[in-house]
Structure 1
Amino acid sequence: MRATELSELSAFDAVARNLSFRRAGEERGVTASAISHAVSNLEERVGIRLLNRTTRSVSLTDAGAMLHAQLSPAFADIGAALDALNSFRDTPFGKVRLNVPSSIAPFVLGRVIGPLVKANPQLQVEIVATDRLVDIVDEGFDAGIRLGESLREGMVAVKIRPRLRMAVVGSPAYFADRPMPMTPRELSQHVCVQNMYPSGVRYPWEFELKGDAIAYHPTGPVALDDHELMVQVALSGAALAYVWENRAEREILDGRLIRCLDEWCPPEDWLYLYYPSRRNMSAGLRAFIDAVKA
């Protein structure tokens, strides 16, 4: 098989897995048009349409689905064979692509990336940070980081640090003419930022103390899906915010924010780095897991 033919098949495999020319191009480090051109050349060479294309979607034809079903194990074997060469190197080689929630990425990975790439100079780490719930298999990631409650079946999960907590915070200006809430039930007397997912769905402020669990649903005038903006609103004195403790730690220490209901905010579920159970762990991913666990 010529190198050109293998490159075209590899481009097709990337599109078939991602169902997107753009994501396939990002995965392979080329433009979407280059991927499209390679797949078109493959279709012209075999004389069969492999993909259905519209302006909004990409799908496999029956012939494309059959070809991909046979190609996928072969490319997995090639990847495993190349990764096996890492046993002859001092450090891992290749790319690790990860998905991490943007709201926790800085304090989960901030101290990990630098030492990891210094210790493994031939390793490429690509991190996509988004609070959107991502299917790491469909979108071509090697692994992801999530709270345990949002993991799906068929994943290998590795517990990692830190264990996170939420915090309710407000500025001294906000509390200048308001009493501090002593229980979550008193939040109804306060202005509170609404927390929402990127999908627009709101989620409650959750509290627990000595078996008493409370889920408070704010009705404040501001709804945000970004913890950085939530902290900024709290700093302005306009409302209370419910954010990751690590994100507001600096502002609490220097007195710009005041924490309340601390005893009602238990540690969250553990964070997990997870990856598909059917996929062999690459040397690069193994190095990343070791760095995060440490």
Structure 2
Amino acid sequence: MGKQTLNDLRAFMVVAARRSFVQAAGELGVSRSALSHAMRGLENDLDVRLLHRTTRSVSLTEAGERLLARLRPVLSDLDHALDDVAREDEALRGTLRINGSDGAIRQLLQTAVPRFLAMYPQMELDLVADGRFVDIVAEGFDAGVRLGEAVPRDMIAVRVSEDLRFVAVASPRYLRKHGRPAVPDELQAHRCIRQRLPSGKRYRWEFARHGQSFTIDPPGALTMDSNTLMIEAALEGLGIAYVPEPYARDAMARKRLVAVLSDWCPLIPGLFLYFPGSRHIPAGLRAFIELVRQLPGSESTPST
């Protein structure tokens, strides 16, 4: 590196940020003359002018701009590394905030959450089940968990569940009275329990088989905004519901609901935990990610 020290480089970054020796010296707790002397020494050591000085202000030269751009990520990574080492032997503590759909949060509760809380008793989990799709960074969350097709493209994603499918289900009583549809088009003659998305739009049912795909806005007198309540309505014989399979699995196993159009319900990407790859990952989130990666079938990939 030469004679320059980390303190000199950090001081340079403060001068570059404040554009003032007086303000930078006050922030660093040194005299203006000592700071100016340090910057002269840094320039002499590098044999390049980094700063334009006037009686009232300081600005960066082209070389100074290049050095600043290179220093920011390097010193940020160094700070994170030192922080990690300092905390390595300490128990994890703090709060981890995760946003997801109701079904996604339920999946975490059945898998990673119990182990995480047992392993890290000083950590707190703030799990927010939200029908809205939110910007996790803007709203202060450490991570989100959603279906793979909904994960933003610039996020790192870790699989939480296997691929899943939506299923069309109805009660035996309903099917005895109204018949069983054999192809998606026949839903037009049925009572369907429709779903209202958080955006206000109705969810359109998607089917595919042998290269053919259909998107249907089904008819029906009942519209709801909860998969759980749609299952309840189907159990009451009020129509055919189209929901993620996990919501209907128990009722189907007990023969209280019957799947229809099964051949037309393809697999889709399952649930993924996602987080921004462009910022430092807190130790608590790193520990949670490692637990999720240990789940059966998990994998980590940038969203594409």
TM-score of the two chains, using structure 1 as the length reference: 0.69
2:122 is aligned with 1:133: no
- Other structure's SS at 2:195 match: strand
Distance between the aligned counterparts of 2:149 and 2:244, measured in 1? Answer: 17
Return closer, same or farther for 1:148/1:93 CA change in 2, 3 Å cut-off: same
1:200 maps to 2:191? no
CA deviation map 1:124-163 (0-9, x unaligned): 1111011201010110000101223222243222233232
SS at structure 2 position matched to 1:176: helix
Amino acid at match of 1:284: G
Q: Identify the residue that residue 236 of structure 1 maps to in structure 2.
A: 236
C-alpha spacing 1:149/1:190, structure 2 compared with 1 (3 Å): same
Q: Which residue of 2 aligns with 1:265?
A: 265
Deviations 1:86-136 (A, max 9, x none): 3113x5322211001113321343232112100111221111011201010
Q: Unaligned 5+ residue runs, structure 1?
A: 1-72
In structure 1, the partner of 2:226 is 226
**1:103 and 2:74 equivalent?**
no
Aligned to 1:284: 284
For the residue of structure 2 that corresponds to 1:116, the secondary structure is helix
Structure exhibiting the larger radius of gyration computed from Cα positions: 2
Q: Distance in 1 between matches of 2:80 and 2:128?
A: 22
**How many angstroms apart in 2 are the aligned matches of 1:282 and 1:84?**
13
Asked whether the equivalents of residues 161 and 292 of structure 1 are also in contact (C-alpha less than 8 Å), the reply is: no
Displaced runs of 4+ in structure 1, greater than 4 A?
75-84
Q: Can you list the C-alpha shifts for 1:196-216, whole angstroms capped at 9, x where unaligned?
A: 212211121111111111111
Name the CA distance, whole Å, in 2 between partners of 1:86 and 1:267.
43
CA distance in 2, matches of 1:166, 1:247: 9
Contact between 1:96 and 1:126, CA under 8 Å: does it hold in 2?
yes
CA contact (8 A) 1:80 1:282 kept: no
Q: Is the 8 A contact 2:160 2:270 kept in 1?
A: yes
AA aligned to 1:206 is: E
Alignment of 1:15-94 (within 5 A): 84-89=85-90, 91-94=91-94
Task: Indicate how the Cα distance of structure 1 residues 78 and 99 shifts in structure 2: closer, same or farther if over 3 A, else same.
Answer: farther
Once residues 80 and 219 of structure 2 are traced to their aligned partners in structure 1, the CA distance between those partners, rounded to angstroms, is 51
Question: What's the CA shift for 1:80?
Answer: 7.9
Distance 1:220 1:181, change over 3 A: same
Quickly say closer, same or farther: Cα 1:209–1:125, change in 2 above 3 A: same
CA RMSD for the aligned pairs? 2.4
Whether the 8 Å contact between 1:103 and 1:131 is mirrored in structure 2 is: no
* Structure 2 gaps, min length 5: 1-72, 296-304
Q: Which residue of 1 aligns with 2:147?
A: 147
Structure 1 range deviating more: 107-116 or 207-216? 107-116
| TM-score of the aligned structures, taking structure 2 as reference length | 0.67
Query: Residues of 2 paired with 1:278 and 1:84: CA distance?
Result: 21
Identity of aligned residues (%): 37
**Residues 158 and 292, structure 2, Cα contact 8 Å, conserved in 1:** no
Whole-angstrom CA distance in 2 between matches of 1:83 and 1:94: 15
Instruction: Work out the CA distance in 2 between the residues paired with 1:80 and 1:146.
Output: 30
Further displaced range: 161-170 or 238-247:
161-170
- TM-aligned CA distance change 1:82 to 1:223, over 3 Å: farther
Shift of 1:242: 0.5
Q: 1:121–1:108: structure 2 CA closer, same or farther, 3 Å change rule? A: closer
Deviations 1:164-212 (A, max 9, x none): 2111110111012222111111111110011121221112111111111
CA contact (8 A) 2:190 2:219 kept: no
Alignment partners' CA distance in 2, 1:77 and 1:216: 54
Q: Deviations over 1:54-97 (max 9, x none)?
A: xxxxxxxxxxxxxxxxxxx9x999888655543113x5322211
- The answer to whether the 8 Å contact 2:208/2:265 transfers is yes
d(CA) in 1 for partners of 2:93 and 2:84? 8
- Contact 2:172–2:258 (CA under 8 A) maintained in structure 1: yes
Cα distance in 2 for residues equivalent to 1:125 and 1:135: 19
